[in-house]
Every structure is written in structure tokens, then in C-alpha cells.
Amino acid sequence: MEVLMDRLSDYTEMPAELHSAVKPTSETPPRQYPAIVHAAVFTALIVPITLLPYLVAQRQISRLRRTVTALETQVVSLQSDLHLMHTKAHKVVMEQDVARNASERSMKADILRLLDDSQHSRNHAATLKALGVSLGDVAAFMQEVELDFGMDSSPGKDRRGIEKLRLLAFHMQSFKSQSEKTKATAQTDDSKM
């Protein structure tokens, strides 16, 4: 307080209204601190408030980085497994294609062979029918010759085999190939439905 009074006395040239505004008080005046003290107090209060969320965020970020690293390792492992599985699947598909192609070639060869056999069977059947007609003509000719020459042709005796020849001609003409039998069976089944 004395310091304040000393200062007031130095200002005697002050106008009267200022003297009345400055009254000595019994209270101590506020102390002036240097700026560094203010900065230190401000920093001591503000830094923990701002640093605490930063540290919490850093901890979470660190944990997330470890999780991301672990997930990246798993992704790389899964990608290698997927690549391996894809390679195996491709290999299996290729093997299946080779097996399917071989099976198709075998089936085509079998079908061609069956078609050839069927064609041969139809040709054989047509030949047998034509031969049956020819044998029938031969049997008719032989019987006509016997009648013209007056040879004995009693019904119980068939010395020259004309009846056997006619019977054979009939069987040959009525011969059906396997494909014709299949067609006839299919037509019979269709007509029943």
C-alpha cells in the first residue's frame, strides 16, 4: 500500500477529478505476472484437455493399425488359397474337358459304327428280300418246267425241293432287319398310347 501511496504523491499535478477517482484502498493491488507465467498456466490447463483426446485417439489408431495389419495378412493368405483353389479348379475343368472330349469321340465312333452296322443290316435285309424274290421266281420256273415236261409232282413228294425253295423264298422276303423291327415295335407302342 505504501507503494501505491508513493506513486500517488508523484502525481500531484493531476487534475482534481482524477485524484478523486483514485482513492487509496486498504486492499492490495493485483500483482502483475510476466507473460511467460501466463503462458505456462494456460499451457498447463489447455494441454491436458487437448492432449488427452489425442492420446486416446492415438491408442485407438494404433490398435486399428494392428488390426489392419492382421487383416492384411489374412487377406494375403486367403488370396493365395483362392489362387491355389482356382488353379486346382482350372486343372479339374481341363481334365473334365479332356475326358468329355474323349468320351464324345468314343461315342461318335460308336454311333458311326452302329450307323454303319445298321446300314449294312438294311443292305443285307434288302439283299435277302431281293434274293427271296429271285428264289420264288426260280421255284415258279422249276414248277412250270415240271408241268411242261410232265414230270411227276405229287404233293407228298418234293424230290427237287421246289416247296422248300418256295418256303425259303417266303422267309427271305418277309425278313425284317433289326431297325425295321425296332420301328415296328415303336409304331405299335405309339398306336397303343
- Contact yes or no for 153/143 (Cβ under 8 A): yes
Place 193 in a pLDDT band, splitting at 50, 70 and 90: low
Q: Is the pLDDT of residue 67 over 50?
A: yes
Span of 15-19, 56-60, 144-148, 176-180 with lowest mean pLDDT: 15-19
Element (H, E) at 110: helix 35-149
Average pLDDT, the chain: 79
122 CB contacts (<8 Å, ≥6 apart)? 177, 179, 180
Span of 58-72, 85-99, 149-163 with lowest mean pLDDT: 149-163
Q: Whole-angstrom Cα distance, residue 7 to residue 164? A: 167
Domain boundaries, the chain: 2-176
What percent of the chain has a predicted confidence (pLDDT) above 90? 33
Q: What is the pLDDT of residues 14-61, one digit of tens each?
A: 455 544 555 555 567 677 878 898 888 888 888 888 888 899 999 999
Q: Whole-angstrom Cα distance, residue 188 to residue 177? A: 16
Place 12 in a pLDDT band, splitting at 50, 70 and 90: very low
Q: Is the pLDDT of residue 119 over 80?
A: yes
Give the closest residue to 65 by CA, choosing from 76, 53, 57. Answer: 57
What is the reported pLDDT for 64? 96
